[in-house]
Amino acid sequence: MSENKMKILMVNKFLYPNGGSETYIFGVGRQLEQMGHQVQYFGMEHPNRVVGNRAGIYTASMDFHSGKLQKLLYPFKIIYSREAARKITQVLEDFSPDVVHLNNFNFQLTPSILYAIKRFVNKYKKSIRIVYTAHDYQWICPNHMLQIPQSGELCSRCREGAFFNCTKYNCIHGSKLRSLLGSLEAKLYQQLKTYRLVDTLICPSHFMEKMLLSNPLFQGKTVVIHNFIDSMGKADKAEGNPGEYVLYFGRYAREKGISTLLKVCASLPQIPFVFAGSGPLETEVKQLENIKDMGFQPPEQLQKLIQNARFVVFPSEWYENCPFSVMEAQSLRVPVLASDLGGTSELIQDGITGELFEGGDAEALKEKIRRLWEQPELCAAYAANCGSLPFDRLEEYCKKLMQVYTGGEIRQSNP
């Protein structure tokens, strides 16, 4: 492989804007192309697909949330997809990449693609480095969240391979069948040691690395590289502007701590809040008079909302990995008040660029919001400190990524 000009196949089940992993692959792919590398993509076909491959080959769309799961062959396709294996082979034969960079692929594409890559390598005596970015906890938790959704309980029962706890607690969409399929998929690939085929696991947080290393198979394969700040981060907030409201932006869902935050908002009627996003708790958000619900906002409008906030609140109640939103707000010189769960605490210098509170503790969240709102000078000091963040810009991130692609060593920060 030549670092000067490499061919990278980016694999992700969704090839349209849908969440954090898509933000990641689009940003990385764009930057790698600017650096002179060839990038193509493999995943599911979709009317909103925005990236692709020269061969024009993708798998049929599969919606794990829909009733289609009841179709006879669908459960088997979730565990092993012959279609995905066949089609990625066709893309490999057309593109012949130096690197296959895996992202989210379980259930829709399935680990069948790993075996297809291996067969291609053996057949053509082609050296391909397989890299995986762990956007969630899928490889150690079948519902990928380390949480029991019905109760909100943080959970690590499956972490060391006891995957049928997923079935016991109906962890996937509250469905016994779907949870059973998730347990079977995880157990099968654990026994086959399928993920040994991956050369390097990129962990966006030290917390993620700690969780993954509960599986001895991953020892010596992990590297921690926090996510990047994209071009959005141009701070031009007017000096002396204390901010006009407290901002939450993201998904309106229980695991994001919205229920707790709404209780706090209701108890602080004198403080104006702005919410930007969407999700299952939209109705509850709209009911409070001191919340202005802006709905989903495109990047330019969202940036303005962030810049005009006194601070951003991020009350997530599950183990976030390396949330882009926390990094984006600070890059715009707006402090963040966030829960201390997962990798989020690695992104905030508590008492310097923002503050942390114990996830799920409504009283602690209430007091922190009240204090920060009543002390605009403290928020201004935090904002000023955000001018020297240790986050990588996209170009810097991709330079580190190239080291991973070529098997080089990366200097890592301390947890």
Tell me the domains of the chain and their CATH numbers: 7-227+393-405 (3.40.50.2000), 246-390 (3.40.50.2000)
Q: 0.95 cut: is pTM over it?
A: no
Distances (CA, A) of 410 to 78, 135, 202, 394, 401: 35, 19, 11, 16, 9
Contact 62, 77 (CB under 8 A): yes
For residue 403, give every residue at least 6 positions away whose Cβ sits within 8 Å of its Cβ, in sequence order, or none. 409, 410
Tokens 């492989």 sit on residue: 1
Please list the pLDDT of the chain residue by residue as tens digits (415 residues).
Answer: 445 799 999 999 999 999 899 999 999 999 999 999 999 999 999 999 999 999 999 999 986 555 555 454 456 678 999 999 999 999 999 999 999 999 999 999 999 999 999 999 999 999 999 999 999 999 999 999 999 999 999 999 999 899 999 999 999 989 898 899 999 999 999 999 999 999 999 999 999 999 999 999 999 999 999 999 985 445 555 555 679 999 999 999 999 999 999 999 999 999 999 999 999 999 999 999 999 999 999 999 999 999 999 999 999 999 999 999 999 999 999 999 999 999 999 999 999 999 999 999 999 999 999 999 999 999 999 999 998 899 999 999 999 999 999 988 776 666 6
